[in-house]
Amino acid sequence: MASQATFKIWNYAGCRFMKNESGHYKKYRHLDTEKLVLVGVLTTRKYLKTRADAIYKTWGQDLTGRLVFFIGTGDDFNTSLPVVVLKNVSDDAYPPQRKCFEMLRYMSDHHGHDFHWFMRLDDDVYLNTDLLRTFLTSINSSQHEYMGQPGTGKPRERGHLGINKAYCLGGPGVVLSGSLLRQVAPHLLHCLKDAATSHEDTELGRCIDKVTGMSCTRQKHFKGLFHAHFTEETGAWAVRMKPDDTVKVLSFHPMKNPIYQFRLHKMFLTKRIQEERLYKVLLEREKSSITTSGFVKECNPCYVDNGEVWTCIKASYVYSMESANLKDSTLHRGRNLGVVAIEPALKPFLKNGIQLLSNIWYQRISALNGLEHVLVTRDVQNHYQLFRTRRQLNSILFRELPPRRY
174 vs 226: CA distance, rounded Å: 9
Helix 200-212 crosses helix 97-111 at what angle (to 10 degrees)?
50
Average pLDDT taken over every residue of the chain: 75
pLDDT for residue 181: 97
pLDDT for residue 120: 96
Q: What is the mean pLDDT of residues 370-393?
A: 72
Q: What is the mean pLDDT of residues 183-193?
A: 94
- Phi, psi angle pair for 378, to nearest 5°: -140, 155
Is 80 exceeded by the pLDDT of residue 95?
yes
Dump strand ranges (E) for 256-344: 311-312
Which residues make Cβ contacts (< 8 Å) with residue 109, sequence separation at least 6? Answer: 185
Dump strand ranges (E) for 109-189: 117-122, 126-127, 146-148, 150-151, 167-168, 174-177
pLDDT tens digits along 264-310: 899 889 888 988 898 888 887 766 655 433 333 334 444 445 555 66
Is 50 exceeded by the pLDDT of residue 122?
yes
pLDDT for residue 31: 38
Is 60 exceeded by the pLDDT of residue 233?
no
Comparison of pLDDT for 338 and 137, the residue scoring more: 137
Instruction: Tell me the domains of the chain and their CATH numbers.
Output: 2-18+300-393 (no CATH), 37-274 (3.90.550.50)
Comparison of pLDDT for 147 and 377, the residue scoring more: 147
Identify which of 105-109, 137-141, 317-321, 380-384 has the greatest average pLDDT: 105-109
Identify which of 273-277, 319-323, 326-330, 335-339 has the greatest average pLDDT: 273-277
The shares of helix, strand and coil residues in the chain, as percent rounded to the nearest 5, are 35, 20, 45
Q: What is the mean pLDDT of residues 239-252?
A: 69
257 vs 54: CA distance, rounded Å: 10
Give SS3 for 117.
strand
Is 80 exceeded by the pLDDT of residue 376?
no
For the stretch 307-346, what's the b/e string if a residue is b when 16 or more beta carbons lie within 10 angstroms of its beta carbon? Answer: eeebebbbeebbeeeeeeeeeebeebeebeebeeebeeeb
199 vs 156: CA distance, rounded Å: 14
Dump strand ranges (E) for 79-166: 83-90, 117-122, 126-127, 146-148, 150-151
Comparison of pLDDT for 203 and 328, the residue scoring more: 203
By residue count, the chain amounts to: 406
The model carries a pTM of: 0.63
pLDDT for residue 394: 74
For the ranges 11-20, 163-172, 174-183, which has the lowest average pLDDT?
11-20
254 vs 235: CA distance, rounded Å: 8
